[in-house]
Amino acid sequence: MAKMEIWIPITIVAAFCQNLRSALQKHLKGKLSTGGATYVRFFYAWPFALIYVWGLNEYAGMPYPDFNGTFLLYCVLGGLSQIIFTALLVYLFSFRNFAVGTTFSKTETVQVALLGFLLLGDTLSLGAILAIVISVAGVMAMSVAQTHISVKSLFTGLAEKSTLIGLASGLFLGGSVVFF
């Protein structure tokens, strides 16, 4: 019997936790404002982030990052992008058709590629571009399959507020990935 690589169960647990977090945030959005639900996510997360960095240093022997102006600038831009992404995603929960916006927020892989090219000069091979297109199409198809949304309604609703918020959400998530 082949031994399972450790990243596989870690990825499965992380995906489950991410879905659980989104469900809890949707529930919180019913009781708090968008800002309140976003604040809760980041307020309770920072101790875990510090423990994670400490653990990387203590157990994996990874050095703490050098704090300089460039490092701090990217941290601030990445952090602000992540907070704005979260606020936009939580705001989507207040729309009746939030599923369309959430589906468009999943375009972050394309947006990461574009932002990486524009901001960092990253280049992609034809195979990487094809993989991104296939993955986005797959995520959107799965999102459509789990709701009453049709492929037609995805594209006819491009000018709807929830769609634009979803695209902006994906843009800020992409921005946080590039900055971090």
- Reading the chain (180 residues) residue by residue, the pLDDT tens digits are 567 788 888 889 988 888 888 778 778 877 888 888 888 888 888 898 899 999 999 999 999 988 899 999 999 999 999 999 989 988 887 776 666 667 777 778 888 888 888 888 888 889 988 988 888 787 777 666 666 666 676 666 667 787 788 889 889 989 999 998
∠ CA 173-72-172, nearest 5°, is: 10
| CA–CA separation, 39 and 83 (whole Å) | 9
Residues 6+ apart with CB under 8 A from 104: 154, 163, 166, 167, 169, 170
| CA–CA separation, 70 and 75 (whole Å) | 9
| CA–CA separation, 150 and 152 (whole Å) | 5
Which pLDDT does position 69 carry in this prediction? 94
| CA–CA separation, 104 and 85 (whole Å) | 13
Which pLDDT does position 136 carry in this prediction? 78
Which pLDDT does position 68 carry in this prediction? 94
Which pLDDT does position 12 carry in this prediction? 92
Which pLDDT does position 70 carry in this prediction? 92
Asked if 25 and 91 touch (Cβ cutoff 8 Å), the reply is no
Which pLDDT does position 81 carry in this prediction? 95
| CA–CA separation, 45 and 146 (whole Å) | 29
Residues 6+ apart with CB under 8 A from 95: 101, 161, 162, 165
Residue 1: Cβ within 10 Å count: 3
Which pLDDT does position 100 carry in this prediction? 66
Secondary structure of residue 180 in the 3-state scheme: coil
Beta strands in 7-137 (DSSP E): none
Asked if 86 and 173 touch (Cβ cutoff 8 Å), the reply is no
Asked if 165 and 102 touch (Cβ cutoff 8 Å), the reply is no
